[in-house]
Amino acid sequence: MVLKEIPKDALIRPLTRNEVWRLLFSLTLFGAATYFSIKWVSDAFDPTRKQKVQAKKKAQQLMKKIGVEGINLTEYELNIALHLVDPRSIKVTWRDIAGLDDVITELQETVILPFQKRHLFQGSKLFQPPKGVLLYGPPGCGKTLIAKATARASGCQFINLQASTLTDKWYGESQKLTAAVFSLAVKIQPCIIFIDEIDSFLRNRSDLDHEATVMMKAQFMSLWDGLDTGPDCQV
C-alpha cells in the first residue's frame, strides 16, 4: 500500500476554529482519562483508602465534638486525632479510686494544678509541671483508672495513644506519625498524651531492635523533651 504524500501547504496552514476546538476537546479527554487511570491505579495499590477516608471524617467529627475547630491538620495528625478522648465523656472520678490517696494528691499538685492555674507557675522554673509521669505497678492496680480520672479532672485534651497507631508498613511513615502526635498535641494544648503499656513501646534499646523501631524511639524521645520543647508548651 502506497501512502499519499501530504502536501507541504497542508502542514503549514493555520488551523481552523473547528480543528482547534476538536484538538482542545481531545486533549481534555486525554487528560481526564489519564487522571482517572492514575487515580484508579493508586487506589488499587492502597486497599485501606476507604478506611482512611472514613477515619478522617470520624476524626473531624470528634474534634468538633470536643470543641476543637478552625485548626488545619495534616493527614498524619488526623490519624492521631482519632484517639482523642472527650474528658466530659469519662465517668471515672477520684472517688472511684481507693487506696491511692498519696498518688492522687501528688497528681493533683504536679499535673492538674499547673494546667488549671497556669499563671501561678509561670514565674518559676522550679514549679513547672513535669514533662511526663510514669504510672507503674502490676496489672489491675489502677493505673488506667488513674489516667481516666486525671483526664476528667484536668479538663484538657486527652490523647489515648496506642503503640499500634505509630506502626506502618511503609518505611518512614512511623516517624511521621510520631511527629504528628506532638504537633497535634501542641496545636490543641493543653493536652495530655496517655500511653498504656508503655513498656511494650519504649522499652530498653537493644541491638536486636529493628532499624525502624530504633528510629521511631529516637524520634519520640527527641520530641518528648528535646531541643524543640519550650517552657510555654503545655503537653
Print burial letters for 206-232: b (CB count within 10 Å at least 16), e (below 16): eeeeeebbebbbebbeebbeeeeeeee
| 173 lies in the same domain as 146 | yes
| Average pLDDT of the residues in 60-78 | 75
Which pLDDT belongs to residue 75? 78
Query: Does 84 share its domain with 19?
Result: no
Asked whether residue 70 is domain-assigned, the answer is: yes
Using 50, 70 and 90 to split pLDDT, how confident is the model at 171? confident
| Residue 92 near residue 149 (C-beta atoms within 8 A) | yes
Q: What is the pLDDT of residue 1?
A: 45
> What's phi and psi for 206, nearest 5 deg?
-140, 155
Average pLDDT, the chain: 75
Q: Are residues 14 and 57 in the same domain?
A: no
Same domain, 31 and 130: no
Residue 137 has pLDDT above 70, yes or no: yes
pLDDT top residue among 155 and 101: 101
Residues 61 and 89 in one domain: yes
Total domain count, the chain: 2
Residue 163 predicted with pLDDT over 60: yes
Classify residue 232: in a domain, yes or no. no
Is 230 contained in some domain? Answer: no
Q: From CA 162, how far away is CA 160, in angstroms rounded?
A: 7
Distance CA(134)–CA(106), nearest Å, equals 12
Judge if 145 and 196 occupy the same domain.
Answer: yes
Query: How large is the average pLDDT for residues 2-27?
Result: 70
Residue 79, classified by CB atoms within 10 Å of its CB into exposed (0-12), middle (13-18) or buried (19+), is buried
User: 136 falls in which pLDDT band (50, 70, 90)?
Assistant: confident
Specify if 109 maps to a domain.
Answer: yes
pLDDT tier at 139 (50, 70, 90 boundaries)? Answer: confident
Asked if residue 147 is part of any domain, the answer here is yes
Longest dimension (CA), the chain: 100
209-230 pLDDT, tens digit per residue, is 666 677 777 777 777 765 555 6
For position 202, which CATH number holds?
3.40.50.300
For residue 37, what is its C-alpha cell?
487511570
83 and 122 both lie in a single domain: yes
Range of the domain at 20: 8-42
